[in-house]
């Protein structure tokens, strides 16, 4: 089984600053996917960014980028030029490749980081 650890329960930064959220994971799989989801107060789960483990290039989506270190099993999220609307819970999630054997088993989530953007 895999585990996902987010060591920062809460972070607070000023608007327009850059912030990095940490995530580490433990798995014996070699082929898998990693995700960051955002959950605002509305509770809706929104995909922010995803990374395929076999890709060395770090994924980017506008102001969001990741630092994927496969050997260290680390997957941090960087938010540049933070905005008030970025205030939310952020969850790191892992999914093994369905062809890894044992079938697919959905997403494994960390406990989340509550990010607060201050005006």
Partner 1 sequence: NAGVTQTPKFQVLKTGQSMTLQCAQDMNHNSMYWYRQDPGMGLRLIYYSASEGTTDKGEVPNGYNVSRLNKREFSLRLESAAPSQTSVYFCASSEQVTSTDTQYFGPGTRLTVL
Residues that bind partner 1 (CB under 8 A): 4, 33, 42-47, 50, 52, 91, 93, 95, 98-99, 103-112
Token pair of 69 as six digits: 């270190």
Rounded least distance, CB 28 to partner 1, Å: 17
Task: Give the nearer residue to partner 1 in terms of CB position, either 81 or 105.
Answer: 105
Q: Considering the complex, what minimum distance in angstroms separates the CB of residue 23 from partner 1?
A: 11
Question: Which CB sits closer to partner 1, 57 or 119?
Answer: 57
- Per DSSP, 58 falls in state P
CB 36 within 8 A of CB 66: yes
**Which of residues 82 and 110 has its CB atom nearest to partner 1 in the complex?**
110
Residue with smaller CB distance to partner 1, 16 or 47: 47
Q: What is the CA radius of gyration of the chain?
A: 14
Closest listed residue to residue 18, CA positions, set 78, 90, 85, 91: 78
Q: Least distance in Å: CB of 98 to partner 1? A: 5
The answer to whether 66 and 49 are in contact (CB under 8 A) is yes
CB 95 within 8 A of CB 107: yes
Q: How far is the CB of 88 from partner 1 (least distance, A)?
A: 14
């Amino acid at each position: 089984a895999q585990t996902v650890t987010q060591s920062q329960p809460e972070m607070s930064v000023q608007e327009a600053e850059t912030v990095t959220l940490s995530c580490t994971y433990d798995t014996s799989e070699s082929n898998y996917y990693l995700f960051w989801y955002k959950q605002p107060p509305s509770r809706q789960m929104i995909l922010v960014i995803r990374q395929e483990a076999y890709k060395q290039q770090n994924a980017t989506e506008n102001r969001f980028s990741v630092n994927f270190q496969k050997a260290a099993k680390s997957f941090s999220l960087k938010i540049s030029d933070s905005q008030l609307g970025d205030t939310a819970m952020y969850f790191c999630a892992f999914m093994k490749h369905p062809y890894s054997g044992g079938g697919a088993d959905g997403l494994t989530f960390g406990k989340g980081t509550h990010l607060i953007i201050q005006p």
